Amino acid sequence: MKNDPTFWILARATGFTAYALLTASVLAGLVLKARPFGRAVKAATVTDLHRFLALLGLGAAACHGVALVFDSTVEITPQSLVVPGILPYRPVWTGIGVVTAELMLLVYASFSVRKLIGTKSWRRLHWATYGLFAAATVHGLGAGTDSGRGWAVAVYLSAIGLVVTATAWRAMMPPQHAARAARSAVAENRLPA
């Protein structure tokens, strides 16, 4: 069946799922840092959720790529999933998606080497998640075939609004509360300060 839309639908669904999971992971990271629920929710629980959402997001991004390879609408090779810009279909926007997925993998892998690279370097690397979120948004808007539809615009605007609001709220937190929350998170996770 040459016109079977299964993989095309799957590619679109997994792309939006990956974006939603990346958004949720960023939000969980902000909640972890800000501790809005105090001690009612343990930092270790939020850390586990944050990491799990990031892993699910990577899995959805991988499924997105695989579905695109199997789809017959646009010819996509496995190589074009790892080398940015070689795909003839919207090369800039798809290239941004490739780089974003690769950097997401790097940030996720940093959880395992946090002690090796040091907490300060690890935190600096995690600042990149804001850029990754922005790049994923740009990728979806530029490469996505549904970007102009009302529901897709609502997804993107909602995600942007949530991340901006949570970031602003986190930035306005009094410094002593932020420092106390960070110390508590480090103590509960038994991670180096």
Q: Using H for helix, E for strand and C for coil, what is the string for 23-73?
A: HHHHHHHHHHHHCCCHHHCCHHHHHHHHHHHHHHHHHHHHHHHHHHHHCCC
Give the amino acid at 100: T
pTM, rounded to two decimals? 0.84
Q: Which two tokens stand for residue 84?
A: 């940015």
Mean predicted confidence (pLDDT) in 31-36 = 70
Q: Which pLDDT score is estimated for 105?
A: 94
Q: Which two tokens stand for residue 22?
A: 């990346």
Q: Which two tokens stand for residue 27?
A: 């939000």
At 175, the pLDDT band (50, 70, 90 cuts) reads: low
Is the distance from CB of 154 to CB of 140 less than 8 angstroms? no
Mean predicted confidence (pLDDT) in 160-165 = 96
Q: Which pLDDT score is estimated for 182?
A: 60
Most confident of 95-99, 110-114, 115-119, 185-189: 95-99
Residue 169 is inside which H or E element, if any?
Answer: helix 150-171
Q: Which pLDDT score is estimated for 1?
A: 44
The fraction of the chain above a pLDDT of 90, given in percent, is 54
Q: How many angstroms separate the CA atoms of 3 and 152, rounded?
A: 24
Q: Which two tokens stand for residue 127?
A: 């600042």
Q: How many angstroms separate the CA atoms of 7 and 4, rounded?
A: 8
Q: Which pLDDT score is estimated for 75?
A: 86
Mean predicted confidence (pLDDT) in 119-131 = 90
pLDDT reading at 143 higher than 70: yes
In the chain, domain spans: 6-189
At 27, the pLDDT band (50, 70, 90 cuts) reads: very high
CA trace torsion 188, 189, 191, 193 (10° rounding): -40
- Mean confidence (pLDDT) of the chain: 86
Q: How many angstroms separate the CA atoms of 126 and 156, rounded?
A: 22
pLDDT reading at 90 higher than 50: yes
pLDDT reading at 69 higher than 70: yes
